[in-house]
Structure 1
Amino acid sequence: MNTASLPLSEAAAAAPAARPAAPSWAQRLPLSLAVLALFGWLLWSISARQALLLLVGVGLGATLAGARFGFTTGWRTLVEQRDPAGVHGQLLLLALLSAVSMPMLAHFPETTAALGPPSVSLLIGAFVFGLCMQIADGCGSGTLYKAGLGVPLNMAILPLFALGSFIGSVHLNDWLALGATAPVGLVQRFGAGGALAATLVGLALLAWAIGRWSGRPLSRASIPARWIWGAVALAVLAALNLLIAGQPWGVVYGFGLWGAKAGTALGLFDPAGNAFWSDPGHAQRLSQTLLLDVTSITNIGILAGALWIAAKRPGASKPLTGQQWLVGAVAGFLLGYSSRLAFGCNVGAMLSGISTGSLHGWIWVPLAFAGTLVGLRVRRHFKF
């Protein structure tokens, strides 16, 4: 493996250790007990659903960190090195999850798709998000699991991401007023079979085009094992999220809710005067404990799962200059803001959107990729 081509946090994890590093059960035991205690408390005091979703989140975090399944990194290595392995792994994840999610949506009416309206906000938000995720070296899930691994930049970005997502939600209705159409759900229009067939054809065409451009067609040998087992594990866990929660895996909404709760508690925000947060569903979540929110509980689990992996293999990072910290902080805030405008990040818009048949997921991908091309130039300019 050429570790020089990986981000420092991943290169450190991939490089051979100077001496064998046994799993540190002494370090992992307190966290394991804390997670079990929270699971038990949720099961007893909240609901079995929230307790199970905590475990799903822990599994997601451990898989993302353990497999180093980075959506941002996969796009970056495709562009800079013409290495499609990461993107091929993401396409495999999309195909597997679509094959499970679409029939589930068709047969279980209590489940919902990750639908977002095609809109001006989607176009702008997806582009800006793709740009900023390369500067910040993480999307929504990437920021969570790298913060759990102890990477300083992502730890600093996490609260800014939440703030940006909250401000984006406050402004969302103004953005939608610029132009938006009704969400389009392929499962609802064509049934599970038709939607799945169209999705798999679209993914196959993408794989063919990427293989043609990179000179490395999709094959079993073209995808490293970590991308394969990571895709399989994430597909299973995301499908469980849909089955247990009744909604697809998401990240961004939880961040915005955290920001809204903080602003309300500090007396800086009146939700009754805002179109988004005065909506009955959002207002109810704002009035309840975070532990009742589906997205928040899985986000907490992702942090815990990544932290559990970090006990064995801590994240690493190079020292940043003051300018890099400032640019990274701005990028983190804009990640949150733009993801709310785009109705999700790589998880909520791309993965959950496409796998549940939302047209907005297919619109999000090319706009975010165009933003990535610009973001990589900015990243090189500031020497991240």
Structure 2
Amino acid sequence: MAQNKDQPYGSAAPKLRDPQNLLTLLGVAAAITLTYFAYQASGLEFVFILWTGILIGFTLFHARFGFASVYRQIVESGNTEMLRAHMFMLGIAATFFAPILMFDIGAFGSMPSAALSPISIGLVVGAFTFGFGMEMGSGLAPASLYQAKGGRSAMICTLLGFLAGSVLGAYHFGFWNETLPEISEISLATDTGLGYIGAWVVQVAIFAFIVVISYLYKKRKRPPLLPPLPSAAGWRRIFFGTWPLWVGATVLAFLNAIVFILQGEPWKLTAAFTLWGSKLLMNVGIDVIHWEYWAAEERLIALQQPIIMDSTSVLNFGVIIGTFLTLTLGGLIRFSKIPIYLAFIALGGGLLMGYGATLSFGANVGAYFSGIASFSLHAWIWASMAILGVYTAYGVGKRLNLVTKQREENE
């Protein structure tokens, strides 16, 4: 029977599972322990950064934000709801970032530094590679991180691949971004004469244009709604259910602005993975300190000091704990055996994601979210190439029948 385009996928939202209380207690214990070490490392500054990360992880799950899925939904069903949520999030983030940069707003003596990066061959190649790998790691492998049939098992493979790929990207970073031609970083606010207010107007106009076009596209296609997700009634929805997309977008933008004020730079994810992987190699005797990636003074300092002294790592430890706690509250920490081909696809997708993210100065957090909010031209180039990578991988998957095969396994 043909599906009514005005109805959501599936007949009803999945039921919430009972909380996994023991795992929740372990997560709380980890949060308390890291809070202690963060305070010992840098006082209240790192404590606030850690708990902001925990709130980000908590929000990411409840908001169910995705990137590859945004563009896959457009070609599969014509649904543009998530795309509009992204534009809303970027608009609010830019609104917060503009005064922070204009008036040098910072806490604990920090001065805000926008997420600006050069325009290089590494940016173009890396962003495309990341987009291709992201579609593999979160699209062709597990249908989503929240599905029951091995989703979290495959996610572990993706994360391991990302860790390895980010280190490999650091090893090749000098060739792609130093040896080959590049253009210095360009701020739409300070390098164009627009100023932060003018750049904000231009970007918000772009976001609004995309929202209007996507809405008209939706009206023409009349796509099915997004699949229903587990939720709850009343106050329980805050802790156990799925939030409206606009709520998740608003909270994420606000929390990124808080990160910006606390540590002097907005949220970045890939740099932490590159640091962790490189430190692992150092511990087994591999000399990474002379790689050109680590030539930058702030990176070298992070490599030589304990991880707990690195604010980016502390923040992302918080994100991991926040996500873990949210999963345990929803009873969603479970692993199952997955086909070997699925594990390899997820691992390969993660490898490409990590490699591409390091080459292109970040992923969909540092380059896309924080970069666009910082009015960086490189972020718009990154987004364009990553989208191209997503569609290319989606096309390859269709030709190899991987998309259909995976969907059938998850039904």
For this structure pair, what is the TM-score category when the shorter chain's length is used for normalisation? 0.7 to 0.9
Q: Which stretch shows the higher mean deviation, 49-58 or 323-332?
A: 323-332
Contact 2:256-2:267 within 8 A present in 1 as well: yes
Q: State the partner residue of 2:233.
A: none
Moved more, 183-192 or 333-342: 183-192
Alignment of 1:15-164 (within 5 A): 15-17=13-15, 21=17, 23-108=19-104, 110-137=111-138, 151-164=152-165
Aligned amino acid, residue 346 of structure 1: N
Cα deviation, residue 229, structure 1: 1.0
1:62-96 per-residue CA deviation (whole Å, 9 max, x = no partner) reads: 11112212222223222211101111111110000
Q: Measured at CA, do residues 91 and 266 of structure 1 come closer, stay the same or move farther in structure 2, by a change above 3 Å?
A: same
Q: What residue is the counterpart of 2:313 in the other structure? A: 296
Q: Count residues with an aligned counterpart.
A: 364
| 1-structure distance, mates of 2:131, 2:62 | 24
Indicate if the aligned counterparts of 1:291 and 1:297 stay in contact, CA closer than 8 A. yes
Tell me by how many angstroms 1:306 deviates.
1.1
Instruction: Give the letter for the 1:179 counterpart.
Output: P
- Structure 1 Cα separation of the partners of residues 23 and 136 of structure 2: 32
State the Cα deviation string for residues 176-198 of structure 1 (Å, max 9, x = none): 22221010012323322111111
CA distance in 1, matches of 2:283, 2:292: 19
Residue 337 of structure 1 pairs with residue 339 of structure 2: no
Q: State the Cα distance separating 1:211 from its structure 2 match.
A: 2.5
The 5-angstrom pairing of residues 214-363 of structure 1 reads 214-215=218-219, 226-271=244-289, 273-313=290-330, 314=332, 320-363=338-381
Query: Do the aligned partners of 1:53 and 1:297 also contact (CA within 8 Å) in 2?
Result: yes
Comparing 168-177 with 205-214, greater Cα deviation is found at 205-214
**How far, CA to CA, are the matches of 1:127 and 1:349 in structure 2?**
13
1:215 aligns to what SS in structure 2? helix
Unpaired stretches in structure 2, ≥5 consecutive residues = 1-6, 106-110, 227-241, 407-411
CA distance in 2, matches of 1:236, 1:261: 32
Contact persistence 1:122–1:364 (CA under 8 A): yes
Match of 1:9 in 2: none
Residue 116 of structure 2 contacts residue 376 of structure 2 at CA under 8 Å; is this kept in 1? yes
SS at match of 1:248: coil
Q: Which letter does structure 2 place at the counterpart of 1:213? A: Y
Instruction: Say which SS state the counterpart of residue 292 (structure 2) adopts.
Output: coil
Aligned 8 A contact 2:93 2:256 in 1: yes
* 3-state SS, counterpart of residue 318 of structure 2: helix
Letter in 2 for 1:87: L
Q: Distance in 2 between matches of 1:353 and 1:48?
A: 27
TM-score normalised by structure 1 residue count: 0.87
Deviation at 1:21, TM superposition (A): 4.3
Task: Report the identity percentage.
Answer: 28
Larger Rg: 2
Q: In structure 2, what is the equivalent of residue 365 of structure 1?
A: 383
* Distance (whole Å) between structure 2 residues aligned to residue 103 and residue 143 of structure 1: 36
Residues 181, 216 of structure 1: alpha-carbon distance in 2 compared, 3 angstrom cutoff: same
8 Å Cα contact 2:132-2:352 kept in structure 1: no
User: Which whole-Å CA distance do the structure 2 matches of 1:327 and 1:30 have between them?
Assistant: 31
Give, in whole Å, the separation in 1 of the partners of 2:52 and 2:167.
25
CA separation of 1:315/1:34 partners in 2, compared to 1, >3 Å: closer, same or farther?
closer
Distance apart, 1:316 and its partner CA: 6.8
Matches of 1:216 and 1:255, distance apart in 2 = 42
Greater shift, 31-40 or 325-334, is seen at: 31-40
- How far does residue 153 in structure 1 lie from its aligned partner after superposition? 1.1
1:175 aligned to 2:176?
A: yes
Preserved CA contact (<8 Å) 2:127 2:356: yes
* Corresponding residue for residue 166 of structure 1: 167
Distance 1:208 1:317, change over 3 A: farther
* Per-residue deviation, 1:119: 1.5
TM-score, with length taken from structure 2: 0.81
- Amino acid in the other structure paired with 1:356: S
350-359 vs 114-123, greater mean Cα deviation: 114-123
Across the aligned residues of Structure 1 and Structure 2, the Cα RMSD in angstroms comes to 2.8
Aligned pair in 2 of structure 1 residues 170, 127: CA closer, same or farther (>3 Å)? Answer: same
Q: CA separation of 1:27/1:330 partners in 2, compared to 1, >3 Å: closer, same or farther?
A: closer
Give me the whole-angstrom Cα distance separating, in 1, the residues matched to 2:173 and 2:33.
Answer: 38
CA distance in 2, matches of 1:144, 1:60: 17
